[in-house]
Amino acid sequence: MSKSINITLDGPGGSGKTTIAKAIAKDLNYIYVDTGGMYRGVAWFIDSRDIDATDEQGVLGVLPELSLDIKVVDGEQHVFVNGQDVSGQIRTPKMSQCASIISTYKDVRLKLVSMQREIARSVNSVFDGRDMGSYVLPFAEYKFYLTADIDERAKRRYLELKDKGQDVSLGDVKQDMIERDERDSSRAFAPLVIPTGAFVIDTTNLTIEEVKNIILNKIGKLNKD
């Protein structure tokens, strides 16, 4: 069996990595893996057990009772917690903060990292996350880091949440994002960084199509090398 090819897209929230990773995966007929969704699944589980995300020992204590699964349903990644599809409940500001907190715990990360590496080994995939190119798959064939201006990122996330009918304010979304950026970048284990060898794209003034083409071009170029 030939070795699978992996593409990683890392970056802060609202940088466009999810939208772009999905589009790239569709174009290349690769599997798309939203690793943030996995951390959100753990956050949902912790919340369902009434454990405060900041209580590290409490979180680690129930971790062995968590069975996390991701499956593609109608072309979209769905997250299952102990057999229950929680995909519709994990994209809220509360779950964002909770996921950011529990993702600072090394044992939580290691549980998900082994699942992610297993997928990477078995199929051609596009991963979006925070540490995919730096820690999980440092030898991935193609690594990208997406970023954008904080106001632009907050606006994108605000419109996305509004679109889902959530009652949020732009100011709160921006504040949440600043806190998450800080936590995700400063944690001790596998923080959000620009991975060595990653191609950096500032998406502030670019359309989805433009970013997608930059990445596909880059991959095409690298293929010819």
- Using CB under 6 A, list all residues that contact ligand DC: 13, 35-36, 39-40, 96, 99-100, 103, 129-132, 180, 184
Within 10 angstroms of residue 181's Cβ, the number of other Cβ atoms is 17
Smallest distance from ligand DC to CB 132, Å: 6
Pick 87 or 100: Cβ nearer ligand DC: 100
Nearest residue (beta carbon) to ligand DC: 36
Smallest distance from ligand DC to CB 225, Å: 28
Smallest distance from ligand DC to CB 86, Å: 13
Strand order in the sheet with 142-147: 31-34, 125-129, 6-10, 142-147, 199-202
CA 154 – CA 179 distance, rounded (Å): 12
Pick 37 or 221: Cβ nearer ligand DC: 37
Smallest distance from ligand DC to CB 97, Å: 8
Pick 163 or 223: Cβ nearer ligand DC: 163
SS (H, E, C) 133-184: HHHHCCCCCEEEEEECCHHHHHHHHHHHHHHCCCCCCHHHHHHHHHHHHHHH
